[in-house]
Amino acid sequence: MTFRVLPLLLAGASMAACGSDPSPDQYGPNPQLPEIQRGLFPSMKISKPTGWGDDKPMVPAGFKVDAIATDLKIPRQTLLLPNGDILVAEGKAKAAPPLRPKDFIGGIIKKQGVTSVKGGDRLTILRDSDGDGIYEARGVFADRLNAPYGLAFVNGAIYVANQDSVVRFAYQDGQTAASGPPVKITDLPSVINHHWTKAMTASADGRFLFVGIGSNSNITERGMMAEQDRAVVWQIDTQTGMQKVYASGLRNPSALATQPFTGTIWAAVNERDELGPNLVPDYITSVRPGAFYGWPYAYWGRNADPRVRPQKPEKVAATVRPDYSIGSHRAPLGLAFSVPALGAPFADGVFVGEHGSWNRNGVVGYRVSFVPFRGGRPAGNPIDFLSGFLKDGKARGRPVGVTVDPRGAVIVADDLSNTVWRVTRTATPPAAPPAR
Amino acid sequence: MSDRPAVEGHSSPLYAIILGFIFPLSLGALLSDWRYSFTYEIQWLNFADWLVAGSLVGGGLALAWTLVANTVRGRWRHRPSSLAALLLVIFFVIQFINALTHSKDAYATMPAGLILSIIATLLALAAAWLGLRSSTKGVAQ
C-alpha cells in the first residue's frame, strides 16, 4: 500500500508550500460556486490533535466558558432536561468496512484527526444542584446503547437516536439513572452506515420526531442500492413508530433543530467532497416537507454532479436550493436556536457547531459560529461564538453538538478533547432586543 | 553443474510468475472499466480499482527484479533486455496514475480510467513478452 501513501505525503508537502486555498465569501443564500476541480491527489489536510493544557476556547466579550465535564467517552450531542440536568450522548460507530484501496489509506489518514478514546455508547448525566455553574454531580444515565447521537425530550420522556434505532426512556423529574432498558420506537436504516450519525429533533407538539439519515457514500461510490432510505429526514410518529420521508436529497443532515414560535424543522447539512476546496457549500436550511435537496444528482440547486451515473435531469430540475450557505467543508454537526437571554448580538439566530474540514488545504471550521436571524430567517454573516480550537496548526478540540439553555447558556460537546463546554454571560444582557 | 540441463537464457519460473501478474490483471481492469463505462454498475469499478492495485504490486516486484538483473553483475541465468526494463518502468508510471484516477469517486474515474487501462494493458503485454523472451545478454560467463 505504500505506493499510495507516498504520493499523498508528497502531495501534502507540496500543499504546505502553496499555502491556503482561496476562500471566497461563501456565506448566505447565494454563494459563489467555482468550477469543479479535483487533481490526481485528493486534498487531505488533517489537523493533528493536541491538548488544551490550562487554555480554553475563546468567547466573545461579556461571556465566559468553563469545562463542565472532561474525560468523557466521545461526547456528541447534549440534551437539557427540565430541571437543568444535562444529558450527554457518547459514542462512535464502527467505521464502514473499507471497500476500495482508497478507503484503507483515507481511513488511516482521517484517524489521525480524531480522539483515540473508545466510544462510551452511553448517556452521561451532569447536575449543578446549587446553580453556581459547576456541575458537581455526574453519573451514567444509561449505557449499552449503540452509538447514541440524537436526543430529544418530549411527552415527559427521553428519546435517543442510536445508529440503528430510536428508543425511549421513561423519565421522572430529577431521575439520575434510567429505571430500565429503553423501549424501541422504530429501527433506522443502518446497513453499512457510512454516515452513521442520527441527528434528531421533535415537533413542537411532541407528536413527531425528525431523524436525519445520512447518505451511505460520498457520491454514490457504493452504488445506488446502498442508498435506499438514505440522505433523507424521516418523520416518526412518537406513539406508533410509523415513519415517512419528510424531505430527501440531504446528503448528511447531521444536525436538526426545531425553530421556536414557527415550529419549522431546520437542518445543518454536510455536502459532498472531492469537487474542490470551495465546493460544495455546507448549509443550514429550513426543511420544506416533501422537498428534494439534490443529493446525489445535483448540488446547491440545479448544478448537476457529473460523477453520478445514470444522470437524472428530472431530479436535477426538481432540486430545491437550501436557505443559507455556511461555506464548504466546514462539517456542521451542531445546530441550536438562540434565546433572548443570551443578549445582543446573540439573542436571535442559530449556533452552528463546525467540526472542521479535511478535504481542503486551508483548514476551515473548528468553531461554533452564530448566524443572526431576523423575522425567522438568516440575516447576516456568521460570527465566531466559540473559537480557538486550532492552535499552531494543531487541533485542541472539535465542536459537535450545541444546546441552548434558555436561562442563558450555550452547551457545546467537544469530541476531540472529550469535554463538554458551557458558555455563559459574565454580565446581565444589555437591553432586550426589539420584539420580532 | 555440468549435468544440469541447458536452461541458459530461460527465465526463472519465479520471475515468470511475478512478471505474469501484470498482463492479466491490467486486462481484467480494462474489461471491468469498459463494463462500468456504460452499465454504471459500481461493482465493475471496484473490481477495476483492485485489479489496477494488484497489477502495481506484481509490476513493482517485476520491475525491481528486472532492474537488479540489469544492473548487478553476476551469473544471471536470464537477463531481460533493457527495453523490457524500460517498458516496465513506463507501465508502472502509467498504472500508478491509473490507480490515482481510480481512487476518484464513481464516474469521476471516466473516461481517463478506461483510456489509461487500455494503454497500461498494451504496455503490460509488451513488457511481459519482452521480459520473458530469451536473451543472450546475460549468459556469457
Instruction: Supply the pLDDT for residue B138.
Output: 46
Which residues in chain B touch residue A306, judged by CB atoms under 8 angstroms apart? 107-108
Instruction: Supply the pLDDT for residue B135.
Output: 54
Put simply, the answer to whether A3 touches B60 (Cβ < 8 Å) is: yes
User: Rounded to whole angstroms, how far apart are CA atoms A276 and A41?
Assistant: 11
CA atoms within 13 A on the CB side of A169: 26
Can you spell out the DSSP letters for A325-343?
A: EEEET--EEEEEE--GGG-
Instruction: Supply the pLDDT for residue B72.
Output: 83
- Domain holding B57, by residue range, is 19-132
Interchain CB contact of A41 with B (< 8 Å):
yes
- 259-288 in A: which are within 8 Å (CB) of B? 274
The fraction of chain A above a pLDDT of 90, given in percent, is 85
Contacts of A24 (CB under 8 A, 6+ apart): A32, A34, A278
Tell me the pLDDT tens digit for each residue of A369-415: 999 999 999 999 999 999 999 999 999 999 999 999 999 999 999 99
Nearest to B107 among A42, A102, A306 (CB): A306
Put simply, the answer to whether A4 touches B40 (Cβ < 8 Å) is: no
Put simply, the answer to whether A41 touches B100 (Cβ < 8 Å) is: yes
Interchain CB contact of B34 with A (< 8 Å):
no
In whole angstroms, what separates CA A115 from the centre of its chain?
17
Interchain CB contact of A306 with B (< 8 Å):
yes
Interchain CB contact of A100 with B (< 8 Å):
yes
Instruction: Supply the pLDDT for residue A38.
Output: 87
Interchain CB contact of B99 with A (< 8 Å):
yes
Please give the mean pLDDT across all residues of chain B: 88
CA nearest neighbour of A298 among A122, A36, A41:
A36
Residue A139 predicted with pLDDT over 80:
yes
Mean pLDDT of A118-139: 96
Residue A20 predicted with pLDDT over 60:
no
Which residues in chain A touch residue B104, judged by CB atoms under 8 angstroms apart? 38, 42, 274, 307
Domain A45-425 has CATH 1.10.1740.10: no
Nearest to A219 among B60, B96, B106 (CB): B106
Put simply, the answer to whether B53 touches A42 (Cβ < 8 Å) is: no
Instruction: Supply the pLDDT for residue A429.
Output: 53
DSSP designation for A386: E
Put simply, the answer to whether A217 touches B105 (Cβ < 8 Å) is: yes
Bridge partners of A232, per DSSP, are A213, A248
Nearest to A307 among B41, B60, B105 (CB): B105
Quickly tell me which residue has 464502527 as its cell.
A94
| Interhelix angle B22-39/B42-71, nearest 10 degrees | 160
B interface mutation test: which of A6, A9, A40 has the most B CBs within 10 A? A40
Interchain CB contact of A427 with B (< 8 Å):
no
User: Rounded to whole angstroms, how far apart are CA atoms A122 and A108?
Assistant: 26
Instruction: Supply the pLDDT for residue B80.
Output: 84
Long-range contacts of B70-77 (CB under 8 A, 24+ apart): B75/B141, B76/B138, B77/B7, B77/B8, B77/B9, B77/B10, B77/B11, B77/B12, B77/B138, B77/B139
Which residues in chain B touch residue A304, judged by CB atoms under 8 angstroms apart? none
Give domain status of residue B113, yes or no. yes
Mean pLDDT of A352-370: 94
DSSP designation for A292: B
Give domain status of residue B13, yes or no. no
Instruction: Supply the pLDDT for residue B134.
Output: 58
Tell me the pLDDT tens digit for each residue of A335-348: 999 999 999 999 99
Give domain status of residue B62, yes or no. yes
Q: Which residue of B has its CA nearest to A218?
A: B105
Show me where the domains of chain A are located: 45-425
User: Rounded to whole angstroms, how far apart are CA atoms A384 and A330?
Assistant: 13
A287 close to A269: Cβ distance less than 8 angstroms: no
Instruction: Supply the pLDDT for residue B6.
Output: 40
Instruction: Supply the pLDDT for residue A433.
Output: 52
User: Rounded to whole angstroms, how far apart are CA atoms A400 and A367?
Assistant: 9
pLDDT band for position A261 (cuts 50, 70, 90): very high
N-to-C CA span, chain B: 13
Q: Between A386 and A20, whose confidence is greater?
A: A386
DSSP designation for B51: H
Put simply, the answer to whether A3 touches B99 (Cβ < 8 Å) is: yes
A185 close to A168: Cβ distance less than 8 angstroms: yes
Nearest to B106 among A3, A7, A221 (CB): A221
Q: Phi-psi category of B27—alpha, beta or left, where left has phi over 0 and alpha has psi -120 to 50?
A: alpha
CA distances from B68 to A97, B64, B74, B135 (A): 38, 6, 10, 16
Instruction: Supply the pLDDT for residue A428.
Output: 66
Element (H, E) at A170: strand A165-170
Which residues in chain B touch residue A100, judged by CB atoms under 8 angstroms apart? 46, 49-50, 102-103
Tell me the pLDDT tens digit for each residue of A199-254: 999 999 999 999 999 999 999 999 999 999 999 999 999 999 999 999 999 999 99
Contacts of A265 (CB under 8 A, 6+ apart): A201, A203, A210, A233, A246, A256, A257, A258, A259, A286, A287
Element (H, E) at A210: strand A208-213
Q: Which residue of A has its CA nearest to B108?
A: A307
Put simply, the answer to whether B107 touches A308 (Cβ < 8 Å) is: yes
The cell numbers describing A136, all together, are 458537581
Other beta carbons less than 10 A from residue A314's beta carbon: 8
A121 close to A143: Cβ distance less than 8 angstroms: yes
Q: Tell me the three state secondary structure of residue A432.
A: coil
Instruction: Supply the pLDDT for residue A295.
Output: 97
Residue B7 predicted with pLDDT over 50:
no
User: Rounded to whole angstroms, how far apart are CA atoms A257 and B17?
Assistant: 61
pLDDT band for position B2 (cuts 50, 70, 90): very low
Tell me the pLDDT tens digit for each residue of A153-173: 999 999 999 999 999 999 999
Residue B5 predicted with pLDDT over 90:
no
Put simply, the answer to whether B105 touches A220 (Cβ < 8 Å) is: yes
Other beta carbons less than 10 A from residue A426's beta carbon: 9
Nearest to A274 among B53, B97, B104 (CB): B104
User: Rounded to whole angstroms, how far apart are CA atoms A115 and A113?
Assistant: 7
Please give the mean pLDDT across all residues of chain A: 92
Parallel/antiparallel/unpaired status of strands A63-69 and A419-425: antiparallel
CA torsion A276-A282-A287-A289 (nearest 10°) is: 20
How many residues in chain A? 436
Residue A360 predicted with pLDDT over 50:
yes
Instruction: Supply the pLDDT for residue A141.
Output: 98
Residue B19 predicted with pLDDT over 60:
yes
Specify the number of domains making up chain B. Answer: 1
Give domain status of residue B12, yes or no. no
Put simply, the answer to whether B104 touches A218 (Cβ < 8 Å) is: no
Interchain CB contact of A218 with B (< 8 Å):
yes
Instruction: Supply the pLDDT for residue A390.
Output: 95
How large is the C-alpha radius of gyration of chain A? 21
A292 close to A322: Cβ distance less than 8 angstroms: no
Which residues in chain B touch residue A309, judged by CB atoms under 8 angstroms apart? 40, 106-107
